[in-house]
Structure 1
Amino acid sequence: MVSLSAKFRDLIWPKQYLENPKRFAWLYVAVFVICLLTLWRGGDALKQQQIQDLSVDTTEQLVQLTSVIESAIAKYQHMPTLLASNDRVRKALRDGLPSDINQLNRELEQINRITEASDSYIIDVNGSTIAASNYRLSTSFVGGNFSFRPYFKDAIKGKPGRYYALGTTSNRRGYYFSYPVFEGDSIIGVAVVKVDLTQFEKRFSNQAYDFLMLDPDGVVFSSSRSEWLYKVMGQLSHEELTRIAESQRYFDQAIETLPVVSKKAFEGGGDVIEMLDEVQDNLGNELVERHRYLAMSRPIKLLNFQVAVFVPLTAIEEQIALWRAIFAGGITITMLVFGLAHLRSRMLQERSDAIEMARHNQAYIREVIQHTQAGLVTLDGAFRIEALNPAVEKLVATPLSDLIGQPLSALFQVAGNDLLRWTKALQSDFDNAKDSLTTVQGTLSVKGESPGIAVEATICELQLPQRRSHLVTFHDMTERKRYEQEITSARHALELRVKERTSELEQANQLLRHEIGEHKATQQELIQTAKLAVLGQMSAGLNHELNQPLTAIRSFADNGLKFLERERYEQAKGNLQQISQLGHHMGDIIARFKVFARKGNVMHTPIDVQTAINGALKIMQPRFKEAGIESHVPSNVQVAVLADMVFLEQVLVNLLANAVDAILEASGREKLVSIEVNCEQDLVRIYVRDSGTGLSEESLNRLFEPFYTSKASGLGLGLGLSISQRIMDSMNGSLSAQNHPEGGAEFCVTLNTFQPD
């Protein structure tokens, strides 16, 4: 009878290879070389793919990082403008009184504490700091002269300034925003706010990547690694280095080059660079190692900076190296296994009888048991220990020769949840293929000693001639149990952090909603105040408008009584009809003012432009008559816009009221207000023009600033145009102003055309 091993041998090794060892050797070498080439090329492809995936993830992280930095810095750019508009700042710069300066110092300190800015300070026209938020510190800016800074030079020329530098007084890096302080048309000082960029270094210092913030010259201005500060990726020319040194941007810091060994563009985006990094060994000695990074950058448009992240590729390279080592080991083991199989086949070819083949199988099994890394135990038909390998003794750290012949339970105790499966496995005859292999968990201990070694046991039947035997394999699970415990602990810690963060976000959202509600309420009150201010200005004209019909009503009533006494009923009826018409007229005037004065939210509905213009003119007509102003208004505008009727009328009334004030201030000129409507495909523009002297350059630049007014003292709060602009923004429109080429000021109200379905 031909044995099963012989059939297996003939299947794997054809007869021509067994008969020609040289041919077998060449085949062995060819297969080995092909496997190695496949291993190397496969590793390169896998590395490329992992770097590609890392590039996609890094791009998303870079977008988030850029957004966080830009939004964090953007909130400070308007602070100098607000400081420059503060009356106390102008008074301190104008008068220079110590009491004013001390009060200003305290206000700046409080503003800094609220806004979390680094520093804010006020500079006079000579560049000397008169007040600062850090006036209490030894590094106070008070008394320091910063006229050499570009942000001061820009602001003193009347432009907003921006700059970045290493502070000469505080020795801290920061980004500066500045704005001129005006007194009329003159600049009397500069307001400056400094943003400390080290906050981002602390925030992103524990990330899986290193981040850099590069200035327009490519100098590292901020980084999560302090040794990279004030270094450049490339080379700077002598002229560039001289310019940087003369600007005192980095004080006395030397500009060096980052230790980049090589740089190669990556097709997925970014660059793969190799750098020299200084590390310390276990003995504290300084060593220089080469590390590779995936470098990607993105601009910060607000600052004209570049944000770059360097993601280490060490983990990917180690993973590829490990993969190659495992694969190479697998190839080697496979080749060795095939070689052993070839040798064994040659031996089996020389042995023909079943007894010698059985002896060989037993010797082979014992050899495997002795040299395998897993703990192996063979059992006889009664499930008693027949033999065991040194790996089992190594697991329990004690000799086990006295356990030979004893039940397996003397060495291995099954876990409670696997006891039923283990009992069924021992009772099975292993004839069913589904039951040929059983794996359970338990502990290895001699005579039940505690603690035992946690292992995973697998039992299977050995097909041996003329007898039944079983093989039990033990694998140490100590490390796996420890890893599972660590993963469980990490998951619990992560869940706790997520709950804490969620609670913080909910509190922040509640506070934000509260602030938004207060802002909307304040804006509605300002709009209502502006309405009432306009109504107050028109009260005299309204009085005149109502007195005329009241006088006529009295006359018609007196005459009507006389007609009734004389029984002239037709004439009396005519007088009553006149009184009724005059009453309707007065009611229409009062109703128009009541609608205009009511509060309400913006409702985007189709509004007839002609109706809105007529409503505003009815409100303003008394002032026009009182001032003797003529109006040119279209009478047949056939267009509708998406807006709110009351708020649109408020904007038009405010523009018409401003036009009346401008005409009254310009003596000796024609008194004329004109309204024109220009209809486009998607937009409608309403032009309100007066015949006044027009707007000055300063007025055009500051026209929509809150509390700014070009009228004489007491004639306005400076809120009308600012509120009108906000109303137009709420209706998705806009408000602009210019001087008309033929004279006078012209305001343009732009709204979206209503498009019916």
Structure 2
Amino acid sequence: MPKSPHLPKRPRWSSLLLLALGLTLLLIPLRYAAQHYYEAQLAEQNGQTLDLYVANLLGTLRRYEVLPDLLGDLPVLRHALEGQGDGSAQDAASQMLEDIRQRTGADVIYLMQDDGTCLSSSNYRQPDSFVGRDFSFRPYYKAAMQGQPGRFFGLGTTSSKRGYYFAAAVRDGARAIGVVVVKVDLDSAERLWGNAPEQLLVTDDLGVVILTSHDAWRFRATHPLDERQREQVNANRPYPTTNPAPLTLVPGDWLTQTRNLDEVGWTARILAPREMVERQVRSALYVGAATLLALLLLLVVMTLRRRHFIERLALDARAKRDLELSVEERTRDLQTLNARLQQEVHDREQAQRELMRAQDEAVQAGKLSALGTMSASISHELNQPLAAIRSYTENAVVLLDHDRLDDARGNLKLIGELTTRMANIIAHLKAYARGARRAPESVVLQGALEDALALVAARRRAMQVELIRDLPDAPLWVQAGETRLRQIISNLLSNALDALAEKTSTRRLWLTTSIDERGVTLILRDNGPGFSSEALARAHEPFFTTKATAQGLGLGLAICDNLLRTLGGHLHLSNHGDGGAEVRLYLLHGKPGVASVPQEEVRG
């Protein structure tokens, strides 16, 4: 017996505590790394957002920058300035300015005289119309009259609404005769920011907040204004107050990024709460602490599992020795049983081969027996066309002697048709005898049924069986093989005639069809004794028969069922409610067409 492996000592808790402390110290560099990573990530994201916002704001302003210069060249506006006091000219100019405002999306467009009085305005229909108001104090008016581009941010003196003003002088040669002003609404630029946790600040050249996502910060000064700046505010009145309150922000609470809008002298800032970074850093620390704790627990578990594993090895060594002894004994028993089983398998395989050979011989014997029965009927069918051929031939000789060539030609045509009929009967008998089959094809059900009826016609007339057919005139195309379908139908007809042989009174055989979306069903019904319950349960089994041994081998229905299944259909047996047996052949639809040319038959 092998020696038991050496068992390790149990871990000391003091060692585990020291290990846990060492792992905890790893959280300190993790915090700094996470803080640096998330601050850089937030800075990159906010920088892209701020760049996008600045580009959108500048794009909005640039869209209207050249509009005053273009409008100053319009004849309607010049006519209104030249004909001051002409009310119709002023109204025409106001109407045009209103149309241009609707098309461009500007807030207000108005035309001032050289003294700063508004002559025409796009809001001339509104109660707060600019018409007649004096705007000569506005910086944009002064700059335009001096030949400079007029640019100004401020509140409207009438609407108290924020906007950015573009102004350009209307000149008559070197003299300025008026000023065209376009006011751009900036409220929409502020609404673009949405409800993000980051805050937006846009300050003008004085450091006063003019656009912001935080309503309480609007029109507050980011730094104290000096005396000159306060005088500028009093003169231009760009804000709702002449002394903006200071904006106090704790620098440590925000992460700030700045973009300068040099075109307008503004500065855009995005302020992200530092709590956004701290929250992600705490999450990273929680994940790191959980990971370290998991590692510590994994180490403890692995130590315990190692001890248990060594103990298990010792137990397995003892069990292995006992198992080897048991296996040796069991192997000897299995060798004995295996030799006995091989002999039994050999005997069973030999018996199976003999059974299959006996079944093949029985099937062929059954087919030859059925062939003999059909041959008697076919010989009767061949005698009739042979007698007719003899009569037509003798008659044709007489007609030729009397130079009745057309009548003789008709007799020869009839002889050819009778010869074709005899060849078909012989071909059917040949195919049935050697078990030939064809590849699946589309055939007409009525044709195969007529051929099968012809094979049993003599026997049916001899038994005085009344045939009742209810078949459609239109061809019923089904998926089958002509030889196999004739073989199936003739076999079923023969079974029906066998059953009617037991009946002494009137004998009847019904043939009907039904059609659905899946296929065509051929129904064969007789008024014989019908199927017994045992026959219905075992009719598809090979070698089961209710006839005497000399009359049948019990293979007909089994063969029919197998042939139908290879064609995609199936066979259903039942008893009719009015008595007698009812057999249903379910066949799949075939593709309609002309009568198919027989394909080369292959050995089955």
Shorter-chain TM range is 0.3 to 0.5
Q: TM-score, normalised to structure 2's length?
A: 0.47
Q: Which has the larger radius of gyration?
A: 2
Q: TM-score, normalised to structure 1's length?
A: 0.38
Question: Relative contact order (alpha carbons < 8 A, sep ≥ 6): 1 or 2 greater?
Answer: 2
